[in-house]
């Protein structure tokens, strides 16, 4: 420890792996993971725009890749990751105002985020297909 | 006896050695991205797989083009701040950490400008 504070001869707080798995901690780390995943998907989005700005052949290659079954699967997962990060991000912004911190509220808002993610992902997918 | 206050002793000892501005700007981008992502994602989902002409026609619309540019600007800055947090939290080796932090700034700004340039090129040539 940097600061020489007398911490006493007390037990250390339990290590991370000792805690029971719970929705809140899982959703917290998932926010980070989805954030990084969206960053990866943004590389695909930008390459699509580069292709669309250059010439039809390049566009057909990139667009074809992104609408193939594997590209589609990646985009579907990216879409789910995005909506999760979107709704959980709003949840974070609400917390930043100092509200919604009661244990029951936190659990409930977590469920709402998961439900909203599922609904929004399906809606976006339908828009993309029609 | 030391004349240094407790605050002065601990200032800059957090993982990032700095604080509130990063936190605050990250929230501003987050809030901006709430409307921008929604306005970006649906035209993009429509343009995807619709063919060269139709896809470019979507971004020939000034509204869609400007939204896409603002989206890239906000999203890649939000990403830069978020990745910076992650690097600061998990990478402790000083040299690697510094290199990654610099690459993060360069990469995110490059992606933002490449994306904006591409949208502008479509908008002006479609």
Q: What is the pLDDT of residues A82-114, one digit of tens each?
A: 999 999 999 999 999 999 999 899 999 999 999
- pLDDT band of residue A1 (cuts 50, 70, 90) is very low
Q: Are A87 and A79 contacting, i.e. CB atoms less than 8 angstroms apart?
A: no
B/e letters for B66-105, b = 16+ CB within 10 Å, e = fewer, are ebbbbbbbbbbbbbbbbbbbebbeeeeeeeeeeebbeebe
Question: Is A127 within 8 Å of chain B by CB?
Answer: yes
* Minimum-distance CB partner of A66 among B48, B68, B122: B48
Q: Would the pLDDT of B1 be above 60?
A: no
- Residue numbers in A near B51 (CB within 8 A): 63
Q: What is the pLDDT of residues A35-79, one digit of tens each?
A: 999 999 999 999 999 999 999 999 999 999 999 999 999 999 999
Whether chain A has a CB inside 8 Å of the CB on B13: the answer is yes
- Pick B48's closest partner by Cβ from A42, A43, A63: A63
CA distance B76 to B92: 24
Which residue in the set A45, A67, A93 is minimally distant from B31, CB to CB? Answer: A93
Is a pLDDT exceeding 70 seen at residue A116? yes
Q: How far apart are the first and last CA of chain B?
A: 72
pLDDT value at A2 more than 80? no
User: Is residue B1 within 8 angstroms of chain A, CB to CB?
Assistant: no
Interface test with B, best of A30, A35, A36, A45 (most B CBs within 10 A): A45
Interface pTM (ipTM) of the complex?
A: 0.87
A3, A35, A59 member nearest B82 (Cβ): A35
Least confident residue range of A16-20, A101-105, B111-115: A16-20
Residues of chain B with C-beta less than 8 angstroms from the C-beta of A89? 30, 33-34
User: What residue of B is the nearest CA neighbor of A55?
Assistant: B52
Interval B33-51 mean pLDDT: 95
The verdict on a CB contact (< 8 Å) between B115 and A90 is no
Tell me if B49 and A96 make a contact (CB, 8 A cut-off). no
Of chain A, the end-to-end C-alpha distance in Å amounts to: 58
Whether B72 sits inside 8 A of A46 (CB atoms) is: yes
């Amino acid at each position: 420890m940097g600061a020489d504070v007398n911490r006493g001869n007390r037990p250390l707080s339990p290590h991370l792996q000792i805690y029971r798995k719970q929705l809140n901690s899982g959703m917290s780390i998932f926010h980070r993971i989805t954030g990084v995943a969206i960053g990866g998907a943004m590389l695909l989005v930008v390459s699509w725009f580069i292709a669309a700005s250059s010439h039809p052949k390049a566009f057909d290659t990139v667009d074809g890749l992104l609408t193939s079954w594997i590209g589609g699967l990646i985009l579907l997962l990216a879409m789910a990751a995005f909506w999760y990060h979107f709704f959980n991000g709003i949840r974070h912004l609400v917390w930043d105002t100092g509200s919604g911190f009661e244990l029951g509220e936190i659990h409930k808002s977590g469920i709402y985020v998961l439900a909203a993610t599922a609904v929004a992902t399906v809606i976006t997918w339908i828009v993309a297909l029609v | 006896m030391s004349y240094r206050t407790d605050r002065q002793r601990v200032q800059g000892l957090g993982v990032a050695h700095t604080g509130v501005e990063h936190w605050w700007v990250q929230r501003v981008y987050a809030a901006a991205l709430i409307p921008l992502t929604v306005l970006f994602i649906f035209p993009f989902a429509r343009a995807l797989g619709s063919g060269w002409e139709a896809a470019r026609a979507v971004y020939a619309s000034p509204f869609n083009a400007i939204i896409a540019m603002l989206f890239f600007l906000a999203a890649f800055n939000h990403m830069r701040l978020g990745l910076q947090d992650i690097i600061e939290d998990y990478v402790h080796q000083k040299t690697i950490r510094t290199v990654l932090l610099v690459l993060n700034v360069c990469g995110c700004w490059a992606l933002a400008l490449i994306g904006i340039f591409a949208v502008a090129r479509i908008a002006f040539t479609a």
